[in-house]
Amino acid sequence: MLPAARLSLPLPRDARAKRICQALLDNPADDRSLAEWGRVVGASSRTLARLFVRDTGMGFGAWAQTMRLSLSLDRLALGEPVTRIALELGYATPSAFGAMFRRVLGTSPHRYMSVTQQHLS
């Protein structure tokens, strides 16, 4: 299996949604719901949900997962330990992170790291 290409992570145009994205990029472990974010940025969760789909082509949850996965790929490429990556990105356990990783990319984080290292050599 080849290393995954850089994931596309479009940012919304709307200032409120963009503010949420920036906060999550700064602290990817933040697990606030869209309703909680709505109170922070002054919009309803329904409005924010529509904005995410309109501006990014994906729902808020999918955007957040893609963001965390993209950050994890960068960190795996740097050789950071999977446990640290998982916990710092907000996953309850490394196995929860591994399950998401396998579901999306079809391989484990460890296997991804070894294949990536082989391609860099």
Neighbours of 71 (CB within 10 A): 18
Phi, psi of 57 (to 5 degrees): 80, 5
pLDDT of 2 higher than 60: no
pLDDT of 100 higher than 50: yes
Q: Whole-angstrom Cα distance, residue 103 to residue 116? A: 18
φ/ψ bin of 32: left (φ > 0), alpha (ψ from -120 to 50), beta (otherwise): beta
pLDDT of 6 higher than 90: no
Name the CA dihedral angle for 73, 61, 14, 48, rounded to a multiple of 10 degrees.
-170
pLDDT of 10 higher than 60: yes
Mean pLDDT of all residues in 91-96: 96
Task: Report pLDDT for 3.
Answer: 45
Mean pLDDT of all residues in 10-27: 96
- Using a pLDDT cut of 70, give the percent of the chain over it: 90
Task: Report pLDDT for 77.
Answer: 85
Task: Report pLDDT for 119.
Answer: 65
Quick: pLDDT tens for 39-86. 999 999 999 999 999 999 999 999 999 999 999 998 998 889 999 999
pLDDT of 5 higher than 60: no
pLDDT of 4 higher than 50: no
- CA proximity to 35, closest of 27, 26, 44: 44
